Amino acid sequence: MANLKSLEAKFQESIDQEIKIEPKDWMPEKYRQTLIRQISQHAHSEIVGMLPEGNWITRAPTLRRKVGLLAKIQDEAGHGLYLYSAAETLGIERDELVQQLNTGKAKYSSIFNYPTLTWADIGAVGWLVDGAAIMNQVMLTRTSYGPYARAMVRICKEESFHQRQGYEILLTLSRGSEGQKRMLQDAVNRFWWPSLMMFGPSDAESTHTAQATKWKIKRKSNDELRQQFVDICVDQARILNITLPDPDLKWNEERGHYDFGEIDWDEFWNVVKGNGPCNKQRLDARIKAYEDGAWVREAAMAYAEKQAKRKAKTAQVA
């Protein structure tokens, strides 16, 4: 009979040989729980992420902008669903996941606790927030758990239009009036640092990184991804004719990367703990949607059961 140690050894061997772990495979309980938490929090982030952008649907300045924004938000709903589907393969059900979000037991990416105050914010979200998400998600296409990796491949294909949609908004503003250029710079000033925070605590402060790396849940570290993101954004910012709000941003010839300033970790932890500008609004919106929709879910189920009974009765009589 296989004992725990030999199961763990075989599991680690699969990981080391880049053999994906699939739902019915034996896995350490901690691997399962870590993934349930990570995948579901990723899913919650997509769903909550619809809210700051939904704020501007009725005020998109043109039809092109409106259809693009609607399509993007619809994609985020879809991404949430792919991820809930992946999480559910690990032995947890949807209603429990939703409860975890609504009770504050589960977290979601803290970037979505910031408000979208102007139309330029919608562009900044597409460029910076989706940009940072893409960096992380491309890395995760190589994650060890099969359903999560496959969901990431699908998401990455869809995400690239999101970033272009945002960048195009900002390009248009950068070529506009003085007021539009100021609005663009202001949006970037407010979204730059929170976007860098999306990559999580520094590697030194990240307690879970070692195990996540050993199990190949995580393929690149927080700091690695953050550095990649900064390097790419500096050039993209130049084309927008804006300054990134970091006086310490400087090319380092020796490292071959941009040096950048220290993140305000107090702000980071404060928002994670629930004290960001919109934490309460976000959760209230999710709870309201869930409670207001209860009768629809129940009615739909009752209708389906009624139809099924009717069909069975007709079959009996025939």
Partner 1 sequence: MKNWPLWEIFIRSKKGLHHKHVGSLHATDSEMAIENARDVYTRRNEGISIWVVESDKITATKPEENPELFEPAADKIYRHPTFYKMPDDVKYI
Which residues are near partner 1 by CB under 8 A?
A: 22, 24-26, 74-75, 78, 81-82, 85-86, 88-89, 93-95, 147, 151, 154, 158, 294, 297-298, 300-301, 303-304, 307-308
| Token pair for 27 | 């896995």
Of the pair 40, 222, the CB lying nearest partner 1 is at 40
Shortest gap between Cβ of 209 and partner 1 (angstroms)?
28
The Cα–Cα gap between 247 and 228 comes to 19
- Taking the complex as a whole, the smallest distance from the CB of residue 148 to partner 1 amounts, in Å, to 11
Write out the two tokens for 6: 């030999």
Whole-number minimum distance, CB 161 to partner 1, in Å? 10
Please state, in angstroms and as integers, the Cα–Cα distance from residue 24 to each residue in 32, 89, 91, 154, following that order.
11, 9, 10, 22
> Nearer Cβ to partner 1, position 57 or 300?
300
CB of 114 to partner 1, least distance (A): 27
Q: How far apart are CA 75 and CA 206, in angstroms?
A: 30
Smaller CB distance to partner 1: residue 59 or 309? 309
Using the minimum distance from each CB to partner 1, give the nearer residue, 273 or 309. 309
- The CA distances from residue 151 to 34, 97, 213, in Å, are 17, 18, 20
Query: Cα(156)–Cα(158) distance, rounded to whole angstroms?
Result: 5
195: amino acid identity, one letter: S
Distance, CA of 112 to CA of 46 (rounded, Å): 9
Closest distance of CB 192 from partner 1, Å: 31
Q: Whose Cβ is closer to partner 1: residue 289's or residue 308's?
A: 308
